[in-house]
Structure 1
């Protein structure tokens, strides 16, 4: 109760602090020194960065957005300062996956929509930077993107992709492009966008980064989120993602680089470090979109091997990352295009066997292990329509059996079987009750 009360007071403090700073920002229009204005903006941005979903939703209400709109109208809040605040709000909302529809219903939302259309209509006097900033704010803060007006979406895409094509490695440019991709990644996967509006540009951007590494980790991840969200029902784009842009290989490379920056012995670091946060987001992307990652066998093996290493590294102090990695292997085993040979070479079977040797078992991971070996058994028996030459199938099956026998994992499989039924209280209806199916007998 005390923790809940403390959190409530913290939330109220941040809300009051933000509103006070906003109200005092222009108490004396024209007399407040520019450095004071920037300092207040900085303080508000710091408060925004500390907010969780509950606090964000309680602070950024329709009333607050309407108040900001009125202050802009009455020139109590300069548009450029409002943009700085709105971009900070939006970036935190998108990166932390916060949900709030307050902006959609506000007068400020309507103002930005009108300003975007009006600015885009201009010919000689068009301010490209202003148009970009308005589009960023609008897309970052908007939720329920299925209802985005197509005309407005087309304008925003054109402006954002033009900015995203900047290829300098300067820190300022990278920071600007990071915001662009955060805005693009907030366009939901159910929004239909014609490929002509984005595909060539996105392929160019990703290929250039693969060669020159000019994007930040956050920007690169956001670029992939946007592109993979567009692939729903687009077989041609799926082929490009898997075999031309090599998403499996790139995911492995990103995870390896990020994992090197995390001290896995430090439990607090695995919870709060930016790289650990990005690892979770990459794993979330892999989990939700794994069938799209299926490409060349070598890429699949490389990705699985990377996930295995990450699983082992995070087993002690990064339990959330660890559980998510372990769950991925179950999902991978269910994908028909993934052969048992890939599971062996990628070391996925090794890490699942290791999990069964742990003295304490997470129930979700334990049930995932059962499901994993059930799927492996189906593949080996040829029940999943994958063509495996009989001799090769026998060799692979023998290899798995010998590994289980050599490591003495039979008892662990039995223990998982008991834990799964006693504590979970349920099982997959199609799962076999014959324990030998999970032992993968000769």
Structure 2
């Protein structure tokens, strides 16, 4: 597999974010109000038809910068039928605007996925045109352009993710995995790998293990040794594998034991968290992308958490402690992250059962108590926090346990927990809470 890269390069790789075509120097961002940004977006789009290819590309890059700045709902409002119809018309003009239309479509797909936007419509003409292009290029055989084929598949996967079936679906998976398997650590390769893995997240149809398992296992394990993936690419690789759980239960053991998902997620979150300056609202492009990726990790952990996690108790304590650190630093700046942390603690509470002490050992109980003491409370978050505290207090005051451990061991564990709670300063609060309830 080659030599491991230096420790300094590993650190840089670990906190790297989105591919270079989406990085700060290419987004050409201009600050402005939402209305101004949206107006500028459509103004730029209307001008594309009358530009040279070079100027056209410059305007597409500016449009990408605007999409980055817009918040989720505002971004969704510019993904209109008119926009996709315009891109469809550009794609048909292959002499002048084809490559720029494809670039714009990739940008649209990228931000659609990164900001979790669901489209309320399907542009059938555009989808039909993309499929036609894929079939035409696929049938070229010796002269076929695999880079173009991959770009087309990425666009469909990110924008029309449920629309590929049969042979085209298998072709797309094969092409994207082939790109994702590239082992290079140069900027261009990392861009291509990241985009392919992000697009693979759009696969919702069942897949047999033979079509992907060896490849995705190799991608993740190679990264764990050589750190060749960006943090978004690594998260996307796990996302692709974990999304197959619903169709193949045997993958849980692969993810937890062979891929070491819990410890990997802990490491990634800690490095992302440590690379951010949470004390300022004015984050640059790279920092905002890291916040997005932290959000994606929390979402993935939430959806992955299973009873099987009981088997790796120590790793789960470390993961929960890591999430507590994310909350402690991000709570005043990123409401979405704060809510996802509380939701994850609640998921742990309802999943982990008898081992709810994880929430105390990791410091998550501190977070929940702090949440309950806020002067302004969110009903949903407060309700979940209350249930977590109630479960914790009930476990502490329960005289016997369903766990298959002897009474002496149980008493020792409770005594250690009470001592820790008292040392942390919230044993009296939980005791009072238990008595009131």
* Alignment pair present for 1:399 and 2:413: no
* In the alignment, structure 1 residue 369 sits paired with structure 2 residue 385: yes
| Shift of residue 257, structure 1, vs aligned partner | 0.4
State how far apart, in whole Å, the 2-side matches of 1:213 and 1:378 are. Answer: 44
Aligned positions, number: 403
**Corresponding position: 1:309 with 2:325:** yes
Structure 1 pair 383–185 and aligned structure 2 pair: CA distance change class (3 A) = farther
Matches within 5 A, 1:389-428: 389-405=406-422, 409=426, 412-413=429-430
Q: Which among 285, 294, 297 is matched to residue 300 of structure 2?
A: 285
Q: Does 1:19 align with 2:45?
A: yes
- Counterpart pick for 2:183 among 147, 161, 167: 167
Match of 1:206 among 217, 220, 223: 220
1:148 aligns with 2:164: yes
- 1:50 paired with 2:80, answer no
Judged with a 3 Å threshold, the aligned counterparts in structure 2 of structure 1 residues 358 and 402 are, in CA distance, closer, same or farther, namely farther
Query: CA offsets, 1:371-421, max 9 Å, x none?
Result: 113333555648985434322222222333344556664664588x6xxxx
Q: Is the 8 A contact 1:177 1:219 kept in 2?
A: yes
2:347 to 328, 331, 335: 331
Deviation string 1:153-195 (CA, Å, 9 cap, x unpaired) is 111000000000001110111111111111111223xx21112
Q: Is the 8 A contact 2:359 2:365 kept in 1?
A: yes
Partners of 1:382 and 1:237 in 2: CA distance: 38
Deviation (angstroms), 1:51: 3.5
Give yes or no for contact 1:356–1:412 (8 Å, CA) kept in 2: no
Deviation at 1:353, TM superposition (A): 4.8
Cα distance in 1 for partners of 2:308, 2:101 equals 40
TM-score with structure 2 setting the length: 0.81
The aligned counterpart of 1:106 is 124
SS of 2:182's equivalent in the other structure is coil
Gaps of 5+ in 2: 1-31
Once the 2 structures are TM-superposed, how far is the Cα of residue 357 of structure 1 from its aligned partner?
A: 6.2
Residue by residue, what CA displacement relative to the aligned partner does 1:201-236 show, whole Å, maximum 9, x if unpaired? Answer: 101000001111111111111111111111114221
Distance in 1, Cα, partners of 2:156 & 2:410: 55
CA contact (8 A) 2:323 2:341 kept: yes
**Which residue in the other structure is 2:140 paired with?**
122
Kindly state the Cα deviation for residue 290 of structure 1 after the two structures are TM-superposed.
1.6
The answer (yes or no) to whether the contact 1:53–1:99 under 8 Å persists in 2 is: no
Structure 1 residues 394, 346: CA separation in 2 closer, same or farther (over 3 Å shift)?
Answer: same
TM-superposed CA distance for 1:242, in Å, is 0.8
Q: State the match for 2:113 in structure 1.
A: 94
SS, match of residue 116 in structure 2? coil
Is residue 296 from structure 1 mapped to residue 312 from structure 2 by the alignment?
yes
Partner of 1:70: 89
Which digits, 9 at most, give the CA deviation of each residue in 1:259-313, with x for residues without a partner?
Answer: 1111222244499722222212211222232228825223212212212222222
Over 3 Å counting, the alpha-carbon distance change for 1:385 and 1:14 in structure 2 is farther
CA contact (8 A) 1:243 1:296 kept: no
- Counterparts of 1:330 and 1:383 in 2: how far apart (Å)? 23
Structure showing greater Rg: 1
* 2:239 aligned residue (225, 228, 231): 225
TM, length-normalised to structure 1: 0.80
